Amino acid sequence: MTLDQVNKGQIFQIVSMPDKHVSAQAIRLGIYEGARLTCVYKFPAGPVIIQNGMQEIAIGRGLAKKIQVQLLDKGDVKQCSAII
């Protein structure tokens, strides 16, 4: 699934970011393959707001469609660094 399909409150892990330019920019914000993040809010036709620790980041819908993620089970939540 891609980041644009994640719903508010769901915790997920970044699986892949195929675009090298996107990946380079995301790493500066602490978003990288393997990072565990939380979806804080998802605007109907706008950005997806994710939380990484204490930082909230808006990811445009077009970019979010390019980032592959995997939802985490409740058992993985304790290991997540970004919990609402």
**pLDDT tens digit string along 22-71?**
888 888 888 899 999 999 999 998 999 999 989 999 999 988 998 999 99
| Residue 72 near residue 3 (C-beta atoms within 8 A) | no
Residue 72 burial by Cβ neighbours in a 10 Å radius (0-12, 13-18, 19+): middle
* Torsion sign across C-alpha atoms 1, 58, 7, 37: positive
Q: Any residues with CB less than 8 A from the CB of 65 and at least 6 apart, and which?
A: 2, 3, 4
pTM, to two decimals: 0.82
Residue 80 has pLDDT above 50, yes or no: no
Q: What is the pLDDT of residue 21?
A: 85
Task: Report the length, in residues, of the chain.
Answer: 84
